[in-house]
Amino acid sequence: MELRILGTAAGGGVPQWNCACAGCAGARRFPERRRRHASLAVRAAPGRWYIVNATPDIGEQIEAEPDLWPGPERRATPLAGVILTDAELDHTLGIARLREADAVDVCATPAVRSALRDRLALGHTLRPYTDLTWTDLPEGGAVRLGTIEAEGIRVSSKRPRYAADDPPDGGWVVALRLTDLETGGTAVYAPALGTWPENLRDAVADAACVIIDGTFWDDQEPRTTGISARTATEMGHLPIHGPEGTAESLAKVPGRVLYTHLNNTNPLVDPGAPQHRALAELGLEVAQEGSVITL
């Protein structure tokens, strides 16, 4: 199994267009600090790739990876489809950017599919351009996508704002467990993490690679930076550091662990921040865009 990290930022990216925080200002001054929305490409077979979460940056993310380029025929593409971990706009708006395709296969839980079809009317809107086909992403089971099996592990009942009045008892936010049927390699991708259920603990315990929610450094970050009156956990994201944080638990995981989905307020967007050293001492990393991981 081969993974390509296409993006590592939370909603809005780094820099965010209307934000002058230290993280955004630094990214404008130093372009190497810029981060696109969190996304991952997974090779499901030779020349066939799935993109996990279709972000607003999906066109630029494809262009940054030659293995995702079209060819040799004029309209042939190696993109087999999209896998969604949730229904948030920053993880789904990119589907509309794929409208030039004859068809787009979207693998998602029933709750996410319903939100996109009924609330956003995505199928109706894109019908004049392309056909959306849907593949169920099961929880407690797996769907085969080429040589890869994908399983959803429910980690939050957080609904996107446009579906806030929908019932919370659905697979609204899942971690994705990926297994290579040929090599046996496993990876867990969880860009949003509101809870830490037992089945997720089991999944990361035997995964060769874990790429996980690093939206906020600590629980008070949204308040101390002035972006919200809520804490990180109240916003649906377990922080990295502190009593509610994931770092201490993930330091015990035998596989490689990388944090992704960094908010622009997170000190980790500055490569010189001391928080990087704190993570390194625990054997943890921050995901870098363009990285290739082979399992």
Read off the tokens for 280. Answer: 């390194």
- Residue 237 pLDDT: 98
- Residue 203 pLDDT: 97
Summarised one tens digit per residue, pLDDT across range 177-229 is: 999 999 999 999 999 999 999 999 999 999 999 999 999 999 999 999 999 99
Summarised one tens digit per residue, pLDDT across range 2-19 is: 999 999 999 999 999 999
Written in H, E and C, the secondary structure of the chain is CEEEEEECECCCCECCCCCCCHHHHHHHHCHHHCECECEEEEEEECCEEEEECCCCCHHHHHHCCHHHCCCCCCCCCCEEEEECCCCCHHHHHHHHHHCCCCEEEEEECHHHHHHHHHHCCHHHHHCCCCEEEEEECCECCCEEECCEEEEEEEEECCCCHHHCCCCCCCCCEEEEEEEECCCCCEEEEECCCCCCCHHHHHHHHCCCEEEEECCCCCCCHHHHCCCCCCCCHHHCCCCCCCCCCCHHHHCCCCCEEEEECECCCCHHHCCCCCHHHHHHHCCCEECCCCCEEEC
Give the residue among 168, 209, 213 at the shortest CA–CA distance from 190. Answer: 213
Domains of the chain: 2-290 (3.60.15.10)
Band of pLDDT at residue 121, cut at 50, 70 and 90? very high
- Name the percent of the chain lying above pLDDT 90: 99
Summarised one tens digit per residue, pLDDT across range 14-61 is: 999 999 999 999 999 999 999 999 999 999 999 999 999 999 999 999
Q: Is the pTM of this model over 0.95?
A: yes
Query: Mean of the pLDDT values across residues 140-145?
Result: 95
Band of pLDDT at residue 156, cut at 50, 70 and 90? very high
Query: Mean of the pLDDT values across residues 90-114?
Result: 97
Query: Mean of the pLDDT values across residues 84-94?
Result: 98
Summarised one tens digit per residue, pLDDT across range 253-293 is: 999 999 999 999 999 999 999 999 999 999 999 999 999 99
